[in-house]
Structure 1
Amino acid sequence: MEERYVFLAEWYDPVAQLVRPYHLFYYPKDGSVEMFDVKKQQRFLKRTKYDDLHQEDLFVGNRVTVFSRQLNLIDYGNMYTANKLGSKEERTLALIKPDGGTKIGDVFELIHSSNLIVTKAKMAKLTWSQAEDFYREHQSKPFFNNLVQFLSSGPVVAMELIGEEAISMWRKLLGSVDSAAAQREAPQSLCAQFGTDGIQNVGHGSDSLAAAARELEFFFPSTIGHGPSNTAVCTDCTCCVIKPHAISEGLTGKILNSISAAGFEITALQMFNVDRANAEEFYEIYKGVTTEYPNMVTELCSGRCMALEIHGTDTPKTFREFCGPADPEIARQLRPNTLRALYGTDAVRNAVHCTDLPEDGVPEVQYFFKILDG
């Protein structure tokens, strides 16, 4: 029999205000999909080729879009799928410490090249008390206060990674917690390249499944509003959103590096799964103005996106110029070094959204970091 994977998925029907369950079938041989309505016990979508869904998108907890319908993958649909795709799949916390702030793009590129997926990300500033709580297993050790002081000294970037043996893979990428030992044992590791000692060592990784569960809950709690706050300042800023297609194409690190290399300061960063209603609201000013509006909405809610607060004087104007014309083909001819020229595909899948009008910079940042993260 032809190989196929089955997931139990849920779709929120905004008209009926009901959550509807489906079985989503994916055929890796040709990338086709099929859907079965669990409640009505009938086929909802016949087998159809669908190029926008890939095998790496299929894991429990992810949100995928199939023909403009957002589906939450809540469980495996059969034992074969669970054994094939989930047997070695793990989640872990990857933390970039304050001394790794200038290396965020490099870390994202390294994660992507290692076949790990970033499913959540957030820049946060820990209080002393929060840092104590995070490192509480080291409370009796002599270096505890130094550890807490350093972790609370500046912004950190917390990420949830998912992938095959993600815990050991991320710790291997980090190298030894002692930077000197890392330089001897694994000179290409992050700690070896960018670390200073056993505390200022760029990153942290969970050391077990239990630790990963606790540490992920610390940064990404199931109860909204209970985790560390984001770092958005919401003054003298503009908004940039790395679009879902760029995230799935592994361009996040390259885009972050390009932004930093151009001299822009990223003062807040967070991944979001935007639903259609929020996407329509965010893009409302384009409704009736551009014919691309419906497709822009569909793209923004098609998967994970990353919102950035870019801080600085006159930033909305200068960053808008740095992003380039909305159509990447035009950008490549007129301004080949802009973000959309380098990483965009077409006028909708153009790598990034950026604030167009200076007066909209703060409201757009607030929409993501105050309203959606509220």
Structure 2
Amino acid sequence: QPIIFQVSITNQNQWDEVLLTKGVLVIDVYQAWCGPCKAVVNLFRKLKNEFSEDDLLHFAVAEADSIVALKPFRNKCEPVFLFCVNGKIVSIVRGANAPLLTKKITELVEEERKVLAGEKERLELCTYFTVFTTFFHPFPTEGVRYSVAIIKPDAVLEGRVEEIKKKITDAGFSIAATEEKLLTEEQIRVFYTRKTEQPDFDDFVQFMMSGPCHILVIAKKETSKAIPHWKELSESSESELDLEPQKQDGLDDIVETGDLLNFCDVQDSIEDASRQLAFFFPNFGKQDTGQHVERTLALIRPLLLKERRDSIIQRIMDDGFKIAMQKEIVLSEEQVRQFYKEHENEDYFPVLLEQMTSGPTLALALTRVNAVEHWRKLLGPKTVEDAKKNDPTSLRAEYAVGSVPLDQLHGSSSPGDAQKELEFFFPQERTFALIKPDAVKEHKGDIMQKVKDAGFTISKIKEASLTREMAMQFYKDHEGKPFYESLVTCMTAGPSVVMVLSKENAVEEWRQLMGPTDPEIAKLTSPESIRAQFAQDILSNAVHGSSN
């Protein structure tokens, strides 16, 4: 029987006790549904034996789901290792990177030996309230790392913005861009996805909407591959952010503590930092040539959509646009009035209202260089009559429908309007997703990677085995059909991975990523879809998603 060398931590009390351990403590933070990282056990056992002479090196495993202090690390799909020295978390490594783990452990043990031998002074670290890790995204300038930070409304109202900026710059970071902005509820929920499980999250959302925030792009030049971490010292006359280089290669972490943590939040992963950088500062880092990649909204109204759908879509793509998102929707009268509220008093509004509610409208999120201006130029004059007379090659003239006086296409008038209109038709959504038992066994990692690559945020994740009763309820709509029993059997054959995914237009985007129900059809029509690549047959078709 092998000796158990990793202490198991399953609650907050045990966590507090283990942190009292003297020396270097390496903690494998794991999710309850997947357990500790087995890939590094032999490595850790080897290192434990190598450094056994002075009993300085210790190992533990901690279940993030049941420990309050580890909330920031819940629902992560990759291993996380915390490094503690005398009760203080000093570094974090993400991923089972054996060379990096070995290097980090060796350095910390050797440094602790020097401290105990009196050859080196121990650097005093402040106690912290909670830990946030920040990865700096290597974009858009080589040798510089970036992340997005939000200064909260209370700090803005108290006039502390410049003070906080100074603390950041005094630490050796620079502020590459800044913007004051009133955040919408959707933006707050996306930025703070990691906090959604906290009991007071709804109150927090309301607080963040209570006033303007300052959004910053924080940059750090690399003199080496190391990224320093920064810590907030206690409030005093000498209160400042100290900077201490880390010796590890690759992206490192920022440990925020004390006062700054209460007023400023920084995004905590490469994916999130990249997404928020693009979201709040879409043209950041691009050379100012006057040509910016933008998004704009295009609407194909019901009459044109019915008669010439394929033609207009082909024309859009021929003009260099990419269709980032699309949604076919039958608008209600209330929705039309809301979207066109600035036009309600115009003489043509009753005709517009009638046409917009007469059938499905196709909403498109178009992207290209200077998308807003280019799309409006293609559309031409605002009225069909004017377009036919003065710009007969414009889209409004070319795609006029019979004698109908109302033009059949819509385009955003400015980048600001484009953002608002895109949020109207493509709001941040959450959708239910499930990886079925047949795919969990062999393809879970590949499917999870496709989910991440598609830009989804995994708001919640859990591995669970469905009972027969649960599966029957799950597919209640198919009860009585010939394949019903086989479907229930497939769903109860082993554990499934259950997820809540967040993204703009998440429901439709997830359905597109899944592909057609029949994998044979998926291979022909959507070869890059999950079902085309990983499904066995029409019953064991890898994944499931909400239909609306």
TM-score for both structures, normalised by structure 1: 0.50
Contact 2:140 2:286 in 1 (8 A): no
Structure number with greater Rg is: 2
Could you say which residue in structure 2 is the equivalent of 1:211? 417
The equivalences for 1:187-226 within 5 A come to 189-196=394-401, 200-221=406-427
Could you say which residue in structure 2 is the equivalent of 1:151? 356
Q: Residues 186, 133 of structure 1: CA spacing in aligned structure 2 closer, same or farther, 3 A cutoff?
A: same
Could you say which residue in structure 2 is the equivalent of 1:74? 276
* Residue 209 (structure 2) pairs with residue 23 (structure 1): no
Which range is displaced more, 128-137 or 92-101? Answer: 92-101
Query: In the alignment, which of 437, 446, 454 is matched to residue 295 of structure 1?
Result: 446
Q: Residues 38, 140 of structure 1: CA spacing in aligned structure 2 closer, same or farther, 3 A cutoff?
A: farther
TM-score for both structures, normalised by structure 2: 0.37
Contact 2:137 2:274 in 1 (8 A): no
Aligned mates of 1:357, 1:173 — CA distance in 2: 44
Aligned mates of 1:97, 1:220 — CA distance in 2: 17
Contact 1:177 1:198 in 2 (8 A): no
* Residue 548 (structure 2) pairs with residue 357 (structure 1): no
Aligned mates of 2:398, 2:226 — CA distance in 1: 50
Aligned mates of 2:437, 2:522 — CA distance in 1: 21
1:14 maps to amino acid = N
Offset at residue 143 of structure 1 (A): 1.4
Aligned mates of 2:536, 2:353 — CA distance in 1: 37
Contact 2:295 2:418 in 1 (8 A): yes
The equivalences for 1:217-256 within 5 A come to 217-221=423-427
Could you say which residue in structure 2 is the equivalent of 1:323? 522
Aligned mates of 1:86, 1:98 — CA distance in 2: 35
Aligned mates of 1:354, 1:172 — CA distance in 2: 45
Query: In the alignment, which of 413, 430, 439 is matched to residue 286 of structure 1?
Result: 439
- Show structure 1 runs of 5+ residues with no match: 1-10, 47-64, 225-271, 310-314, 325-337
Could you say which residue in structure 2 is the equivalent of 1:7? none
Contact 1:283 1:293 in 2 (8 A): no
RMSD after superposition: 4.9
* Residue 317 (structure 2) pairs with residue 93 (structure 1): no
Aligned mates of 2:312, 2:134 — CA distance in 1: 37
Contact 1:118 1:159 in 2 (8 A): yes
Contact 2:517 2:531 in 1 (8 A): no
Aligned mates of 2:535, 2:525 — CA distance in 1: 11
Classify the secondary structure of the residue corresponding to 1:95: strand
Offset at residue 36 of structure 1 (A): 7.2
Could you say which residue in structure 1 is the equivalent of 2:509? 306
Measured against aligned partners, the alpha-carbon deviations of 1:13-69 in whole angstroms (never above 9, x if no partner) come to 73479874322225899xxxx9976757767648xxxxxxxxxxxxxxxxxx98xx6
Q: Residues 112, 22 of structure 1: CA spacing in aligned structure 2 closer, same or farther, 3 A cutoff?
A: farther
Contact 1:190 1:202 in 2 (8 A): no
Q: Residues 86, 100 of structure 1: CA spacing in aligned structure 2 closer, same or farther, 3 A cutoff?
A: same
Could you say which residue in structure 1 is the equivalent of 2:525? 339
Q: Residues 210, 28 of structure 1: CA spacing in aligned structure 2 closer, same or farther, 3 A cutoff?
A: closer
2:363 maps to amino acid = A
Aligned mates of 1:74, 1:186 — CA distance in 2: 40
Aligned mates of 2:288, 2:134 — CA distance in 1: 23
- Show structure 2 runs of 5+ residues with no match: 1-71, 81-129, 143-221, 231-244, 252-268, 456-507
Q: Residues 209, 360 of structure 1: CA spacing in aligned structure 2 closer, same or farther, 3 A cutoff?
A: same
Aligned mates of 1:19, 1:131 — CA distance in 2: 43
Offset at residue 203 of structure 1 (A): 1.8
Percent identical: 21
Q: Residues 129, 90 of structure 1: CA spacing in aligned structure 2 closer, same or farther, 3 A cutoff?
A: same
Could you say which residue in structure 1 is the equivalent of 2:463? none
Offset at residue 74 of structure 1 (A): 1.9
Aligned mates of 2:397, 2:325 — CA distance in 1: 26
Offset at residue 184 of structure 1 (A): 5.3
Q: Higher relative contact order by CA 8 Å / sep ≥ 6: 1 or 2?
A: 1
Classify the secondary structure of the residue corresponding to 2:347: coil
Classify the secondary structure of the residue corresponding to 1:81: coil
1:95 maps to amino acid = L
Classify the secondary structure of the residue corresponding to 1:22: coil
Q: Residues 131, 39 of structure 1: CA spacing in aligned structure 2 closer, same or farther, 3 A cutoff?
A: farther
Q: How many residues align?
A: 254
Aligned mates of 2:445, 2:376 — CA distance in 1: 42
Aligned mates of 1:38, 1:110 — CA distance in 2: 50
* Residue 75 (structure 2) pairs with residue 14 (structure 1): yes
Could you say which residue in structure 1 is the equivalent of 2:381? 176
* Residue 365 (structure 2) pairs with residue 137 (structure 1): no
Aligned mates of 1:110, 1:203 — CA distance in 2: 13
Offset at residue 131 of structure 1 (A): 0.7
Q: Residues 13, 177 of structure 1: CA spacing in aligned structure 2 closer, same or farther, 3 A cutoff?
A: farther
